[in-house]
Structure 1
Amino acid sequence: MDPNNSAIFEFVLTHYGEDYMYSILYILNFVFGSIAYKLGFARKLPLLKNVFVYIMLAVGTYILTIFSIFGLPITESLIIISIVLGIYRFRLHQERKRKQSI
């Protein structure tokens, strides 16, 4: 795998070096994965179930970060997913507000 496929991988490598690469990519993947989960899939859950979901998300992010280390554009994909879901939720909110005012 050519690590030049991922712009964020290259950015982290050039600015922070190899020492903190995994930690930075893990945090980015977890943050954007959490945003994508919250915007697209989250339901009202009790606190304990919600904690369990985020723990499992953290475990899954570990695996995604390994793919990011190999240069796959995982972080970029999570950013795009978060943006698209954010736009969708915003438009859905606007549409519901418009229907409610009619």
Structure 2
Amino acid sequence: MDVSERLTFFAALYKVHENPDAGMWMLYLTIIMLCVIVYKLGFAKKLPLGKSILIYLFLILGCTILTFLGVFLPIAEGLVVAALILIIYKIRLRQHKKQEMDAS
């Protein structure tokens, strides 16, 4: 069985099997970007600067493990779905609040 058949979409897109160095870095940066988006949309609260830096540091460290798993498991794809769901939720929430303000 060929390894390239088992790669996830993003791992195959970045050609991790042909150029592992550049492919893994691109996958790593993609997973970091998607994790930050999901964190900001779903979980972020106003925190002091020091605590925010600590949160993002641990987020980036956790993304290292997710990158290795993301070669054969759909980690980045799941983050894309989570980001889309949270974007839709935020849009609907904003529309609902706007309607409430218009009604009162």
User: TM-score, structure 2 length as denominator?
Assistant: 0.88
The answer on whether the counterparts of 1:8 and 1:75 sit within 8 Å (CA) in structure 2 is yes
Aligned residues: 100
Gaps of 5+ in 1: none
Greater relative CO, 1 or 2 (CA 8 Å, sep 6+): 1
Cα deviations by residue, 1:57-95 (Å, 9 ceiling, x for unpaired): 0011011001013x1110111111111101101110110
> Are positions 1:79 and 2:83 aligned together?
no
Which consecutive aligned stretches of 4+ in structure 1 deviate over 6 angstroms post-superposition? none
User: TM-score, structure 1 length as denominator?
Assistant: 0.89
| Identity across the alignment (%) | 33
Identify which of 42, 45, 62 aligns with 1:43.
45
Q: Which has the higher helix share?
A: 1
User: Partner of 2:14 in structure 1?
Assistant: 12
The answer on whether the counterparts of 2:28 and 2:63 sit within 8 Å (CA) in structure 1 is yes
Cα deviations by residue, 1:5-63 (Å, 9 ceiling, x for unpaired): 5111111117x732311110110000000000000001111111111110010011011
The answer on whether the counterparts of 1:36 and 1:81 sit within 8 Å (CA) in structure 2 is yes
CA RMSD of aligned residues (A): 1.9
Gaps of 5+ in 2: none
